[in-house]
Every structure is written in C-alpha cells, then in structure tokens.
Amino acid sequence: MKHDSVPAMVTPKYHLVTYGCQMNKNDSERIAGLLSGLGFTSTDDEGNADLILLNTCSVRQTAEDRIFGKMKDFIALKAKNPDLIIAVTGCMAGRDKKGEFKERMAPVDLYFPTPEMVKLPRWIAELRPELVNSASLEDDYLKIRPSRVPSAQAFVTIQTGCNKFCTYCVVPYARGLEKNRPAKDILNEVRDLADHGVIEVTLLGQTVNSYRAPDPETFSSRNPYHDHYASLLWEVHEIPGIQKIHWTAPHPNSMTDEVIDALTLQKQVNYLHLPVQAGSNDVLFRMNRKYTREKFLDVIEKVKAKRPGIALGTDIIVGFPGETAEQFEETVSLYRACDFDISYTAQYSPRSGTLGVKLYADDVSREEKRRRWQVLQEVMEETAKRKNQAFVDTVVHVLVDKLENGLASGNTNEMKLCRFAATDPNLVGKIVPVRITQALEWQLNGSMLS
C-alpha cells in the first residue's frame, strides 16, 4: 500500500496558488485552514509538495490561459513524483458545467467548485490515505476557519455568489446564487480577529451591501438600522479593537439611505468603491446592470452629501459590445462628474457561458478598446493627481503594513498608498499620523509626526 512507503513522521506539504480577487484569497485562507487541520504544512516549492492546489479566476481569458499553461509543468512534476496530487478549484471549476476545461487538464486529480472544498479531506484520504491525520468535516465551507498570515488587516467573507447576472460576468455561474453567512458567524469571526490583534477588517461579498442576514435576531436592540447590511456594519463597528472598517464591492442599487448613513460611522474608512461599469444608459441596459446613469449619479450625490470629502473608486468596462464612441464619452463625462479617485478599468473580453456572449457580438475592435482604456487612464491620472494634491500639508493617518529599506508604507483612511521614512519595526500594524509633503498620482509621501 502507498502509505507504507511514506515514513510515519513525514509532514505532508501543500503548495497553494491563488489567482484573482480578494474573495479567492479569502477562500484560499480557508483551504489553508482546512489543510493545516489535516496536518499539512505549506511550501513555496511546488517540486517539494504532496499536493498542489490552484485556486483559479475566470474573470479574463488571460487568467484562464495561465492555468492551462501550467499543465505542461504538472506533467513533468508527476513524471518525477507519480503520487503528487494536483487539485484545481475556484471560478474555472465552478463555471465549467460541461467539463470542457477539465478535458484540457489531464494531470489534474481533483477538480471542484469552491463550496466543495469541504470534501477535500475525504478526497485526499482516498488518493493518499497516509497523508491525512484526521477527517473532521464541515458541511459549509464558510464555517471553515481561515488560516491567515498574522497581520493587523483581515478580509472577512460575508456572502458568496450573486443573483444579478450582469451579461458580461461569470460569477453567478462560477460561484452560484447569492448566499449570505449568518451574522452571528461573521461577528464571532471579527471578534476573534480583534482578539488576535486585527484592527482593520474588510467585509467581502460580490454585492456586499445586498447582504441579508439569515439570523437578523443576532442584531442588538440598540442597533439603529433596519437594513441588514447597515445593521451588520453597525455591529462590526461596536466590536472593541476594530479601528477601521472597509467593504467591497457594493452594488449601486443596494446603496440604501441607511447604508449611505452607515458611511458616517466613525471607524468606516473614508473611501467607497462603487462599480459603475459604464456611463451610457444604453450600455448599462445591455450589461443588465439594472440602474441608469441618473440613478448612479443620485447615489453618488447622496454619498457626498452624507460624507463630504469621501474618496471614491469604481470599476469600468470599456468596449462592451455595441458601445459607440459617443457612448464611451458618456462614461468619461460620468467619471468627471463623480470625480472618482481611482478606477479599475477593463477592456471587455467575452466570457463563454455568459449572456453577453449569447446576445451580443464582440464588435469593438481591440485597438479601439485599447484607445478608450487609454483615454480613461489619462483622465484618471489627471484626476488622481489633482485630488491627491489636496492632501499636501495635511496630516493623514496611515495603517503601516510594510517597512522596508528605511521606508514605511500603508494606506491612509482614504485608502491611498502613503510612504514615509521610518526604521522602527514596531510601527507595522499601527496607525500613525503623517504630514504629507508630496502628492503623486498613486502615492502620497510624507513624514511621520511624533
């Protein structure tokens, strides 16, 4: 039997690679928690691993191509170590309903959508029984305790999946319909993080503000809100030790008055990331975003009225099928009207299985997509530089997350990267005041106040 060939004291090793968004990173922390519960330790060297696991992303074709490109390496690794287990999870496995991707992944032993990670211990035990020291099984993967690198910042998933079916997006297929975690579990996790030194939490969900608690009775009778997401924010805000609250990504239609009001909670960062995707009503309709340009601008106006000076970020797709040059200009004018600090701009790429591919031809040329991206990039750089300039000679508060070569760095309350000279390693994980002396497009430089 295989397990006779492995010395009893050898600790099995896993090599876990994560692609894509923060949700995937948080899922990987759960996978790491699950594997360490089985007695595995992590290795950076895939040649030294008993289990290689890829947590994949499907948002762009390039992300998927990267995974297919790994298969050659895996064939070579398996030739050297036939007992090696190779596993693929995440969005590619989630949306591959017909098994077309799997067919191109010959060396892969385990292939499963994210929620099925709960079965990983059993599958590993079936393939390599000698590697598994216990088989404690959860039926809900969100109940698995994530294994995190110690830090003052942590991501907490409050919801998975999505019901919105934007026509360009694979998420509802890859991750399934929206599922919300019980508020009790979320708050217990945040309390536990605070007890372990975390001071900034980022709540994660595909449309985080559409959160509906399966257990609203968890909310305190003192909670001033009725909207479940605003209520959750208030409860997180009450947890001693937590100093900064951040969340991503909300949907404009779920920016209720109460959620907008919760932006004024004292621990809430002074930043809102609100994806708009396009500025033309025609394009928004074909994207199935279910709001108009006017409605989006109305939300932004309310946000700015409630929290003047808030920094704003967004996501934009350029070159969506049928987007004319004039319609793209509406995106540019909306960008200017909102005065966003930052945009994560993508050039449309058709994703198989989405409604966008079935309904519309990808009729904006690559060059034109690139041109539109460049136009927006220039507007963004000009806006960012102007807005950052306003911080010069002011004092910001920076949560230090890195100290290297005499330079400390971290984010301000507006989620802007700030750097300043420092040598004390104890600053990492602390919030410190910094006077800004220089503003660049993507960075503020300053000096720490004593």
Question: If we measure between CA atoms, which residue out of 59, 86, 85, 93 comes closest to residue 70?
Answer: 86
Structure tokens at 316: 């934009």
CB nearer to ligand SF4: give 105 or 162: 162
Q: Is 166 in the site for ligand SF4 (CB under 6 A)?
A: yes
Question: If we measure between CA atoms, which residue out of 382, 397, 388 comes closest to residue 440?
Answer: 388
CB nearer to ligand SF4: give 172 or 321: 172
Site for ligand SF4 in 345-364 (CB under 6 A): none
CB of 179 to ligand SF4, least distance (A): 13
CB nearer to ligand SF4: give 84 or 166: 166
Number of residues interacting with ligand SF4: please give it, by CB under 6 A.
10
Q: Which of 111, 112, 123, 165 binds ligand SF4 (CB under 6 A)?
A: 165
Q: Which of 55, 159, 206, 345 binds ligand SF4 (CB under 6 A)?
A: 206
Residue 13: enclosing H or E segment and its boundaries?
Answer: strand 13-18
Q: Is 110 in the site for ligand SF4 (CB under 6 A)?
A: no
Q: Is 162 in the site for ligand SF4 (CB under 6 A)?
A: yes
φ, ψ (nearest 5 deg) of residue 97: -65, -30
Q: CB of 206 within 8 A of CB of 23?
A: yes
Distances in whole angstroms, Cα of residue 122 to Cα of each of 16, 52, 344, 401: 18, 16, 40, 37
For 202, the 3-state DSSP assignment is strand
Distances in whole angstroms, Cα of residue 250 to Cα of each of 144, 206, 273, 346, 375: 25, 7, 7, 18, 26
CB of 206 to ligand SF4, least distance (A): 4
Q: Is 251 in the site for ligand SF4 (CB under 6 A)?
A: yes
CB of 155 to ligand SF4, least distance (A): 17
Residue-wise DSSP of 118-176:
GGHHHHHHHH-GGG-S-----SSGGGSPP-----SEEEEE-EE--S---TT--HHHHT-
Q: Is 152 in the site for ligand SF4 (CB under 6 A)?
A: no
Q: Which stretch binds ligand SF4 (CB under 6 A): 117-125, 165-173, 322-330, 378-386?
A: 165-173
Q: Is 373 in the site for ligand SF4 (CB under 6 A)?
A: no
CB nearer to ligand SF4: give 70 or 164: 164
CB of 330 to ligand SF4, least distance (A): 19
Cα 28–chain centre separation? 12
Binding mask 260-279 for ligand SF4 (x = CB under 6 A): --------------------
Helix 325-338 / helix 293-306 crossing angle, nearest 10 deg: 10
Q: Is 169 in the site for ligand SF4 (CB under 6 A)?
A: yes
Instruction: Report CA dihedral (202, 204, 210, 214) to the nearest 10 degrees.
Output: -100
Q: Is 207 in the site for ligand SF4 (CB under 6 A)?
A: yes
Chain positions contacting ligand SF4, by CB under 6 A: 162, 164-166, 169, 171-172, 206-207, 251
